[in-house]
Structures are given as C-alpha cells and as structure tokens.
Structure 1
Amino acid sequence: MAPSVLVVCLGNICRSPMGEAVLKHVAKERGVDIHIESAGTAGYHVGDEPDERTVATCKKHGVPIDHEAQQVSRQDFTRFTHILASDEANLRALENIKPRNATAEVRLWGSYLDGKAIPDPYYGGINGFEQVYQQCVKYSNAFLDEVVGKETSNL
C-alpha cells in the first residue's frame, strides 16, 4: 500500500500547505507513489487559500500549490499512514484528539532529520517563508528516505 501523509500546522495556510506542495513535488521528482494532504489543528481558516507569501515562495521555487484550508478530523488518524506535525504544540494537539483506533504514525516532521520544529512564519516577513521552504525540502527528502527507502533517491 502506498503511503499517505497529512502535513499539519495550526491554521493550514502557511507551513502545512507549503509542506504538502513541497512533499508532493519532491515525491514526484523521485518517482514515489504517495498521497499527500494538509490540515490545521485549528479551524480558523477553513476554506481559505494559502497565505500569499506561501504561494509566492512555492512559485519562486517552481513548486505547484493548490489548496483550500481544512481542519484535522478524527477520521484522518485512520485515513492516513503518517501524520506529520510542524511543531511540538501541534503534535500535542494531535495526540489530544487522536482516537483509540488510530493507525497513523503521528510524529514531528523534523524528527525524520534533525528533530527541529518548523517555526510559524505568519507574523514575520518573506524570509521566514523561505526558511520554511528550505526545511520542507530537507524534511521531505528525509521522510521519503525513511518511509519509502533510499533506493528511490537514485531515480
């Protein structure tokens, strides 16, 4: 069964939609069959498009992005094989709503490489979004290396 991933941040307009777009892009480049979505632990922005700085950063790097914000649901814990939290606060929020029948592996996305959180760039400038992009690229490759194997990195 192909892996399926839910990338999660707080509002699903900055980090997680960028993470979704970057992970899809990297997986496609590596020839990996994987289903990827993103969501927020809070419902503040449900139905909204990603932050314009998220979109601009993805476009700058040639990464397609098309997303409408959604909130994490209890069903996501059985719909996805992996749920990747952007930071510790969102990881705790996920653990708090995780149902008993959860089958998804729930982890900090950075735990696949350096254990670092992806800082929320919302209240800062465009440089914060560039930093998030660079982390997403690194974490996408690290995640794919661990989950689908290093042999795909040579395709």
Structure 2
Amino acid sequence: MAPSRDPSEVKVLVVCLGNICRSPMGEAVLQHIAKERGLEIKVDSAGTAGYHVGEEPDERTVATCKRHGVPIDSLARQVSTSDFTGFTHILASDVNNLKNLQTIRPSNATAEVRLWGSYLDDKSIPDPYYGRAGAFENVYQQCVRLSNAFLDDVFGTRSDL
C-alpha cells in the first residue's frame, strides 16, 4: 500500500481473540506512539470471538500499560462486518485470528487485512493470558516495535523510538 500522508484518513483496528489482552494493549500502544509522533489516527480494537464483549481489558494489560505511561480505556467488542469498510487497516495479532478475519471478510471489504507482524518480522503476538508473569511485558514491547513499524510503513517515515 502506498504511504498515506493524511493521518485523519488512517483508521486502524487491532484484533485478537477475546479483545481483553493483546488487542486493547495494541490499540493503546499504537494510539500513544502515533500521538507522540504528532499523528492523529483513529485506533480501535476488537476480538474475533465474543467471549468478553462489554468487559474491560485484563487487569495485567492495564497494569502494563500504566507502568509505561500509556493510557488505556476500552471495552471488549467483537469484530463486525462493518469494520471491513469502516477501517483502512485491520491488524491481526496472530495467524489464527488472521484466518478468522479472512473467513468473515465480506465481499465489499475495503480494509487492508494483515498480520500485524507482517510490518516487521512476520511474527505473531503470543497470547499472554495463560503465560508467565513477564508475558504481558513481552507483548507490550512487541506492540511498541510493531506500532513503529506500522507507522513507518503507512506514513513513509522512520522513527528512532
């Protein structure tokens, strides 16, 4: 995709399974880094499953973001078919969620649907829910790297962050 120069036109949906760990953290981190770069883009998050609709992010997600000074405020929701036309970019946290997105993608979809890791190293973001204590910190650091790589690609810039 050609680099976009108008941040107001960039609308990003970060997607994981339940929308309580990886995607709300990704949403918060991407929004924070974009603002630090002076870019006002729209960022939201959703899950491919509806297990946690209406719930706040996992407390470990919130604690990790707060520890890094990243504001986080979202409620879990499930991906809808309108997201495929309402967003310019849909970023899947892992291959399974990418496959789920491709399965429900409507024929009139206009959003670019990709593995978020495809902007950097083609790696999935591992689900930290059942992981070790440091798993949420690892996801945070990965979200920082992926946010910078995404913004570099979309806006044709490089960051020293």
Give the TM-score of the pair, scaled to structure 1: 0.96
1:38 counterpart SS class: strand
Instruction: Report how far residue 148 of structure 1 moved.
Output: 1.4
Correspondence 1:137 to 2:151: no
Correspondence 1:108 to 2:115: yes
Correspondence 1:36 to 2:43: yes
Percent sequence identity over aligned pairs = 73
Runs of 4 or more, structure 1, over 4 Å off, are: none
Partner of 1:89: 96
2:105 to 94, 98, 102: 98
Partner of 2:62: 55
- Structure having the larger proportion of residues in helix: 1
Instruction: Report how far residue 33 of structure 1 moved.
Output: 2.1
1:7 to 11, 14, 19: 14
Which whole-Å deviations, capped at 9, do the CAs of 1:78-134 have from their partners, x for residues lacking one? 000000000000000000000000000000000000000000000123300000000
Which whole-Å deviations, capped at 9, do the CAs of 1:5-58 have from their partners, x for residues lacking one? 000000000000000000000000001121000000000000000000000000
Partner of 1:76: 83
| Mapped partners of 2:41, 2:66: distance in 1 | 22
| Mapped partners of 2:148, 2:87: distance in 1 | 19
Is contact 1:53–1:126 with CA below 8 Å preserved after alignment?
Answer: no
Structure 2 gap ranges (5+)? 1-5
| Mapped partners of 1:148, 1:13: distance in 2 | 28
Partner of 2:3: none
Aligned residues: 153
Q: Tell me how large the CA RMSD over aligned residues is.
A: 1.0
Structure 1 gap ranges (5+)? none
Instruction: Report how far residue 149 of structure 1 moved.
Output: 1.8
2:91 counterpart SS class: strand
1:19 to 26, 29, 32: 26
